[in-house]
Structure 1
Amino acid sequence: MKRRGVTVLLGAVLVSLLTWQALSMRVAYVALGPGPTVDALGVYEYTDDTGQVQSISLITADDAVSSQSDGQLRLVTVRIHDDIDLLRALYYWISDDYAVVPREFQYPDDKSKDEIAAEQAQMWENSQSAAETAALRALGEEVSVTVTSVAEDSPSDEALVEGDVITAVAGEPVTSQEKLASLLAEAMLADPGEPVSLSLDRDDSTVTSEVTPEQHEDGSAVLPGVLVEPVQDDPYGLTVTTEGLNIGGPSAGLIFALAMVDRVTAEDLTGGLVIAGTGEIDEDGNVGPIGGVAQKVVGAKADGATVFLTPAANCESAKSNVPDGLTLVKVNTLDDALASLEALREGRTPATC
């Protein structure tokens, strides 16, 4: 072989090796892709610490009120692909079903993976609690925001007493602990340092009192020296069991709430359909936007869903990647979602994205 040919061959080999090495390099990005979905009305299996396979219903209620549905309400997830090389990142980048984002967005440098996991687990638990409160309210069980203690010599001493139910702030109804904090924050912003009028149920009487709200160390607005808790009856014995699912975050709140209502309602709210959805929910039933919806619609369709309940603020993102055969239903509240399910059962068209 002539010297020039050898040089060209060696150059080609070297370029190939360098290219392969470059493509094999780990990148500071992660890919977000469709994750598994779970039927909140169904039974799932997991292997416990002893190696035994356990079967668990996600949502249960007392036998006297519990009902079964032919359809499904599937919560959806996003799978994070970490420690990827350049070649894999390029594949994810050109795929419509994945999003490639800087790794620090998912794993901030100032937090360990354990800390992030703990935060996700706490949000997961909070979403279940808020969902239960919202579901019970939809079932007719109102929340009483009740004073459990008042510190002596605090600015609230004598103005409030243990057992008071706070029904309104400056005339605006208090429907949850979250709503109380929101109304107090609005009052502080409107008239800093000024007292606010509170409507109270006290010993079967309606009274009015005034207290100046303060900012708590966590940034929230509070009544100084006062502890409150939401009191709500649960005549259904609703229970959520998620052990072994290995899911975190707040985005399953809407589906949790719908599954709880469905579980104790004689009518099959799904109408026999496979329905998926997402959205963070608060105690008043408001549905907020979440991340990864473009990937979640793909996972929903793959697991048989024909309807996807979509937070209104996520509609544009969901529409950009919606698979054929999946209808995006737009919801702002739990009541919206329930009304949309009713429309579907009756053959009507709900509000869509």
Structure 2
Amino acid sequence: MPRRSATMLASTLLLIGLLCAALLLPVPYAQMGPGPTYNTLGTQNGKPVITVTGRQTYPTTGNLNMTTVEVSSADYRPNLLAALAGWFQSDTAIVPHSTLYPDNQTEQQAEQQNAEEFSASQDSAKAAALKQLGYKVGSEVVVAAVVENSPSVGKLHAGDVIRTVDGTAVTTPDQVGTLVRKKQPGQTVVFGITPKGTSTAKQVTVTTAKNPDTGKAFVGIQPGTEHTFPFQVDINLGDVGGPSAGLMFALGIVDKLTPTDLTGGKFVAGTGTIDDQGNVGPIGGISMKLIAARNAGAQYFFVPADNCAEAASSPPAGLKLIKETTLKGALDALSAIRSGATSTLPTCG
């Protein structure tokens, strides 16, 4: 073989090898897809998703389904070939890895954050629903999170209600930090708490440490607030995380506590965060949630207003997208759905 031909062949083979290697090298992306949906009016693992104790509840029909997204694990890195294939699949979203795991979060850290957000969304959903129905809702200071390797580890736990700090009653999270910072690092702080899930008050002593950022005393907790309710509302749904089920939980609670059958037997799904005043906020993964809802049989889908543009860009056939900004607006939309006046609904696009 002539030298020129041999050189060209070697170069071609090298280029092919480099291209193959490039296609098989991992890229910094993650994968999302439609996850399961859950009827907030139904049961999960043999238990009602929403249970109410201490107030009359009413029969419900139809569906008010919350939607989820399945995501790849924190250590998953697709190669370029797999990422390209995902980009061409309608039921797969390829996103930067940092979208799902910011700041190089581990999977355990992401799951912990999602669990905390899910718990907070349930609390806000209960508050919004009961306020909508005219019930009085209070609040209390709680341990929202405990910092790893801090003085509070093993002594205070997420969900503990903080009643006093060194004998001073506290009614806001800011008071807790102010009282702790009055100490010198190495001094003790006595917390009067009611541990999560109990009604028995106790005192817990924590020795402060020096905050590496400020030099002030700290104990390593993040104080927050949770609401108090006139009766017990429980949401029983494991293996789900994040804040995006708030709206659908609130609607499910209202449906259980009112004689009106909110759905009129229709299949409604949706998503959206909610605050304790009933304001609906945006979420991630809207396109995958629409697919999940339609696959489950939904006819209508509640979309947070800020997600409408993305949702309207590729809506699944047969799924009516309803724009929502408040819990009250969603309840009005359900009234229109069960009466058949769907032409009046505020839609996306």
TM-score if structure 2 supplies the norm length?
A: 0.68
Amino acid at match of 1:274: F
Aligned to 1:70: 61
Amino acid at match of 1:36: P
SS of alignment partner, residue 351 of structure 1: coil
Residue 85 of structure 1 and its aligned partner are, at CA, apart by 1.6
Decide whether the 8 Å contact of 1:40 with 1:74 is kept in 2.
Answer: yes
Aligned equivalents of 1:93, 1:229: Cα separation in 2: 41
Residue 7 of structure 1 and its aligned partner are, at CA, apart by 8.1
How many percent of aligned residue pairs carry the same amino acid? Answer: 39
Aligned to 1:256: 249
Aligned to 2:240: 247
Aligned equivalents of 1:229, 1:26: Cα separation in 2: 43
CA 275–122 in structure 1, closer or farther in 2 if over 3 Å, else same: same
Decide whether the 8 Å contact of 1:149 with 1:228 is kept in 2.
Answer: no
Question: Which among 298, 312, 317 is matched to residue 305 of structure 2?
Answer: 312
Kindly indicate whether residue 97 of structure 2 is the aligned counterpart of residue 103 of structure 1.
yes
Residue 290 of structure 1 and its aligned partner are, at CA, apart by 0.9
Aligned equivalents of 1:36, 1:228: Cα separation in 2: 30
Residue 262 of structure 1 and its aligned partner are, at CA, apart by 1.2
Aligned to 1:214: none
Q: CA offsets, 1:117-139, max 9 Å, x none?
A: 11110000000010001111122
Q: How does 1:52-67 map to 2 (within 5 A)?
A: 55-62=46-53, 65-67=56-58
Amino acid at match of 2:71: I
Aligned equivalents of 1:241, 1:287: Cα separation in 2: 22
Aligned to 1:233: 230
Kindly indicate whether residue 335 of structure 2 is the aligned counterpart of residue 338 of structure 1.
no
Amino acid at match of 1:74: N
User: Which segments of 5 or more consecutive residues in structure 1 lack a partner in the other structure?
Assistant: 46-54, 155-160, 164-176, 179-216, 218-226
Q: How does 1:88-237 map to 2 (within 5 A)?
A: 88-144=82-138, 230-234=227-231, 237=232
Decide whether the 8 Å contact of 1:72 with 1:272 is kept in 2.
Answer: yes
Amino acid at match of 1:105: T
CA 31–229 in structure 1, closer or farther in 2 if over 3 Å, else same: closer
Decide whether the 8 Å contact of 1:96 with 1:321 is kept in 2.
Answer: no
Decide whether the 8 Å contact of 1:73 with 1:276 is kept in 2.
Answer: yes
User: Which segments of 5 or more consecutive residues in structure 2 lack a partner in the other structure?
Assistant: 142-161, 174-213, 215-223
Count of equivalent residues: 276
Aligned to 1:282: 275
Amino acid at match of 2:69: V
SS of alignment partner, residue 33 of structure 1: strand
Amino acid at match of 2:122: Q
C-alpha RMSD of matched pairs (Å): 3.5
CA 150–135 in structure 1, closer or farther in 2 if over 3 Å, else same: same
Amino acid at match of 2:43: V
Residue 32 of structure 1 and its aligned partner are, at CA, apart by 2.2
Kindly indicate whether residue 291 of structure 2 is the aligned counterpart of residue 294 of structure 1.
no
CA 58–42 in structure 1, closer or farther in 2 if over 3 Å, else same: same
Aligned to 2:81: 87
Aligned to 1:205: none
Amino acid at match of 1:295: M
Decide whether the 8 Å contact of 1:40 with 1:255 is kept in 2.
Answer: yes
Aligned equivalents of 1:269, 1:285: Cα separation in 2: 17
Aligned to 1:348: 341
Kindly indicate whether residue 21 of structure 2 is the aligned counterpart of residue 21 of structure 1.
yes
Aligned equivalents of 2:38, 2:81: Cα separation in 1: 31
Residue 102 of structure 1 and its aligned partner are, at CA, apart by 1.7
Aligned equivalents of 1:249, 1:285: Cα separation in 2: 18
Aligned to 1:183: none
CA 275–130 in structure 1, closer or farther in 2 if over 3 Å, else same: same
Moved more, 76-85 or 275-284: 76-85
Aligned to 1:328: 321
CA 240–23 in structure 1, closer or farther in 2 if over 3 Å, else same: same
Amino acid at match of 1:29: Y
CA 83–239 in structure 1, closer or farther in 2 if over 3 Å, else same: same
Aligned equivalents of 1:89, 1:162: Cα separation in 2: 52
CA 229–255 in structure 1, closer or farther in 2 if over 3 Å, else same: closer
Residue 266 of structure 1 and its aligned partner are, at CA, apart by 2.6
Amino acid at match of 2:337: L
Aligned to 1:191: none
Amino acid at match of 1:276: A
Amino acid at match of 1:98: T
Residue 95 of structure 1 and its aligned partner are, at CA, apart by 3.2
Aligned equivalents of 1:247, 1:316: Cα separation in 2: 26
Aligned to 2:260: 267
Amino acid at match of 2:320: T
Residue 67 of structure 1 and its aligned partner are, at CA, apart by 3.2
